Structure 1
Amino acid sequence: MAKKPSTTKATGNARQAKIQAAQKSGGGGANKIVVATVVAVVAIIAVVGGVVWSQAQKQASVGTSTATPAGATMGKGYPAFADVTPAANAPTVDLYEDFQCPVCAQFEGILGPTIEDLAKSGKIKLTYHVLNFLDDKTGAENSTPAGNGAFCAAADGKFQPFHDAVYAAQKAEGEDVDQATLDGWAKTAGITGDALTTWNTCVADGTYTKYISSVNDAAFKISGFQGTPTVMIDGQMTDLATIGTVEGFTKAVQDATK
Structure 2
Amino acid sequence: MSKKTGRNTRSVVTARRGPSLTAIIGIVVVLLFAGVVGFGVYRTQHQSNSGAVPVNATASGVLVGQASAPASIDIYLDFQCPVCRAYEQQSGATIDGFIASGAAKVLYHPLAFLDQSSTTKYSTRASSASGCAAQSGAAVFAKYVKLLYANQPPEGGDGLPESQLISLGQQAGAGGDFAKCVTDNTFAGWTAALTDAASKAGINATPTVEVNGKQIDNTDEALRQAVQAAK
TM-score in terms of structure 2 length: 0.71
Give how far 1:252 is off: 1.8
Q: Would the aligned equivalents of 1:64 and 1:209 in 2 still touch at CA under 8 Å?
A: no
Mapping of residues 100-119 of structure 1, within 5 Å = 100-119=80-99
> Are 2:211 and 1:233 aligned?
yes
Task: Label 1:141 to 1:231 Cα distance change in 2 as closer, same or farther (>3 A).
Answer: same
Q: Rg bigger for which structure?
A: 1
Q: Would the aligned equivalents of 1:78 and 1:127 in 2 still touch at CA under 8 Å?
A: yes
**Deviation per residue, 1:138-159 (Å, 9 max, x gap):** 5542111111221111112211
Structure 2, gaps ≥5 residues long: 1-45
Aligned mates of 1:172, 1:66 — CA distance in 2: 30
Query: How many pairs are equivalent?
Result: 182
Q: Which amino acid aligns with 1:80?
A: V
Aligned mates of 2:118, 2:192 — CA distance in 1: 16
Partner of 2:167: 184
* Counterpart secondary structure, 2:110: strand
Q: Would the aligned equivalents of 1:230 and 1:237 in 2 still touch at CA under 8 Å?
A: yes
Q: Would the aligned equivalents of 2:162 and 2:182 in 1 still touch at CA under 8 Å?
A: no
Give how far 1:219 is off: 0.7
Q: Which amino acid aligns with 1:189?
A: A
The percentage of aligned residue pairs carrying the same residue is 36
* Counterpart secondary structure, 1:174: coil
Q: Would the aligned equivalents of 1:94 and 1:232 in 2 still touch at CA under 8 Å?
A: yes
Of 210, 221, 224, the residue aligned with 2:189 is: 210
Aligned mates of 1:98, 1:115 — CA distance in 2: 17
* Counterpart secondary structure, 2:154: coil
Q: Would the aligned equivalents of 1:78 and 1:129 in 2 still touch at CA under 8 Å?
A: yes
Give how far 1:121 is off: 2.0
Give how far 1:214 is off: 0.5
Mapping of residues 138-157 of structure 1, within 5 Å = 138-157=118-137
Bigger proportion of residues as helix = 1
> Are 2:145 and 1:166 aligned?
no
4+ residue segments displaced more than 4 Å: none
Aligned mates of 2:91, 2:205 — CA distance in 1: 18
* Counterpart secondary structure, 1:206: coil
Task: Label 1:127 to 1:85 Cα distance change in 2 as closer, same or farther (>3 A).
Answer: closer
TM-score in terms of structure 1 length: 0.64
* Counterpart secondary structure, 2:54: coil
Give how far 1:122 is off: 1.4
Aligned mates of 1:251, 1:77 — CA distance in 2: 24
Aligned mates of 2:57, 2:136 — CA distance in 1: 16
Mapping of residues 15-54 of structure 1, within 5 Å = none
Mapping of residues 43-122 of structure 1, within 5 Å = 64-74=49-59, 76-81=60-65, 84-87=66-69, 90-122=70-102
Give how far 1:174 is off: 2.4
